[in-house]
Amino acid sequence: MLGLLYLLIAGTALAAFLLWPRTRPRALAALASGARRVAALDRARRFVFFGDRFPEHYKSSDQKVLRYLATRSYTGLLCTIVVGLLGFGVILAAVLAVRLVQGRLDLQELLTQALLGGVLLFLDVQGIYSLAVLDAKLARECFGPSEQEVLRQRIDELATSRAAVVQAVDAERRRIERDLHDGIQQRLVALAMLLGRARRSRARNPEQVDALLHQAHQESQEVITELREATWRIYPSALDSLGLKEALSGVSERCSIPIRMDFEVDRALPQTVETAAYFVVSECVTNAAKHSGATAISIRLALYGAVLVVRVEDNGTGGADPSGSGLTGLRSRVGALDGLLHIDSPLGGPTTITAELPCA
């Protein structure tokens, strides 16, 4: 009824401004602003009396709010009529009870009145239930996104995620090319030069051959190490052969910072989920070791129903850039699984990155 009163009073007060094209937009804005306040009261009513919770971030359009108040006014009138009929039935039942006690009511009239009262009570209960269902439906449509809005938002998210995945793939290709060119290729060139010098020195300076071969051996070990690191960053073979826990243990062993890991997963996970979880941990550990100045890292993986929660925290200086290429790639990888990535990295630290990965 409050919505009906508001629409009648505000509509009457703003009628002249609504009819004039030049003042109509401002009048509609004023009407919608007041309608939002009235709708907020109705939203609070749904929460207090029915426990309904609606998305906090969702903002209904002006048209949707005004349409809700208009429709809600009709349901309010119907509810008033139904409650009035229920009150009439109670009064009628009281009158019949008094007449029955006084002996002024015969059996035939009693049965007739009881039948009419039963029908009225049934209609009242049915009407109250139907209006309650309708009221809840109207509230959901006003204070929450419709199916079309959810679908449109999902399409936008998929389009954004798809573009981000393409960018992440291109960035990863550039990183691999840079690692191969600046690291492994340079060491292979140095190894070839050492072996060439050793071959040329075999006749002129045999004593130098052993030293050159020793350097070549050290260089080959460095090449093997860097090649192994590069392949692990592309895809860890241990993930397929040993499982997620052992693959993450390998990440901990290769890190120069002490890592404490809690692995609370007691069943097998889909391969896509394990791969995403591995790269979340690997990227976070790499960032902490390179940029944060951290002295300790904690990793926790736990299953909550059908969701794997991966949490990586370091005690570094914080200030991680969510728009950086590494974290952007992680967000795209997690989003491809309909997961969520939360980044909390205030200046001064600590940095906490949490990924929620659906396993169903």
pLDDT digits (tens, 9 = 90+) for 133-174: 888 888 888 888 877 877 887 787 777 766 666 666 666 677
Q: How many CA atoms lie within 13 A of 229 on its CB side?
A: 15
Say if residue 134 is in the same domain as residue 171: no
Distance CA 32, CA 63 (A): 8
Boundary (domain end) residue, out of 191, 209, 234: 234
Domain contains 60: yes
Tell me: do 230 and 250 sit in the same domain: no
Task: Check whether 96 has a pLDDT greater than 70.
Answer: yes
Q: Are residues 175 and 92 in the same domain?
A: no
Helix 62-102 and helix 24-50, axial crossing angle in degrees, nearest 10:
50
Would you place residue 230 in the very low, low, confident or very high pLDDT band (cuts 50, 70, 90)? Answer: low
Same domain, yes or no, for 133 and 252? no
Local structure of 308: helix, strand or coil: strand
The position carrying tokens 């570094």 is: 316
Same domain, 138 and 38: yes
Q: Which two tokens stand for residue 152?
A: 């449109």
The full length of the chain comes to 360
In this predicted structure, the answer to whether residue 205 has a pLDDT above a threshold of 90 is: no
| Domain total of the chain | 3
Q: Is residue 300 part of a domain?
A: yes
Instruction: Please indicate, yes or no, whether residues 17 and 112 belong to a single structural domain of this protein.
Output: yes
For residues 13-39, average pLDDT: 80
User: Quick one: 140 and 6 in the same domain?
Assistant: yes
323 in helix, strand or coil? coil
Out of 234, 260, 281, a domain closes at 234
In a domain, 150, yes or no: no
Question: Same structural domain for residues 36 and 12?
Answer: yes
Helix/strand/coil for 303: strand
Mean pLDDT, residues 97-107 taken together: 78
Q: Is residue 282 part of a domain?
A: yes
Of 186, 214, 234, the domain-final residue? 234
Residue 157 inside a domain? The answer is no
Question: Under 8 Å CB-to-CB from 307, ≥6 apart: which residues?
Answer: 356, 357, 358, 359
According to the per-residue pLDDT averaged within each range, which of 10-14, 16-20, 161-165, 276-280 is highest? 276-280
Residue 347 or 178, more confident: 347
**Within-domain flag for 158:** no
Mean pLDDT of the chain: 81
Same domain, 170 and 140: no
Instruction: Give percent of the chain with pLDDT exceeding 70.
Output: 88
Question: What CATH number has the domain bearing residue 337?
Answer: 3.30.565.10
CA distances from 267 to 187, 242, 243, 305, 306 (A): 43, 14, 11, 12, 11
Q: Are 351 and 320 in contact (CB under 8 A)?
A: yes
- Measured CA to CA, the distance from residue 123 to residue 127 in angstroms comes to 6
Position 14 scores a pLDDT of 73
Residue 255 CB contacts under 8 Å (≥ 6 apart), including other chains: 285, 289, 297
Q: How far apart are alpha carbons 85 and 122 in whole angstroms?
A: 11
Structural domain for 100, as ranges:
2-144
User: What average pLDDT score do residues 166-190 get?
Assistant: 70
- Does the pLDDT value for residue 310 go beyond 90? yes
The sheet carrying 259-264 orders its strands as 259-264, 297-304, 307-314, 351-358, 340-344
Q: Is the pLDDT of residue 231 over 70?
A: no
Same domain, 247 and 333: yes
Among 59-73, 162-176, 331-345, the least confident range: 162-176
Instruction: Answer yes or no: do 293 and 189 share one domain.
Output: no
pLDDT given at position 235: 66
pTM exceeding the 0.85 threshold for the entire prediction: no
Token pair belonging to 58: 């969702």
pLDDT tens digits for 273-297?
888 898 899 888 888 888 778 888 9
Same domain, 226 and 253: no
Q: pLDDT confidence of 232, banded at 50, 70, 90?
A: low
Per the domain annotation, does 182 fall within a domain?
A: yes
Q: Is residue 155 part of a domain?
A: no
- The residue type found at 202 is R
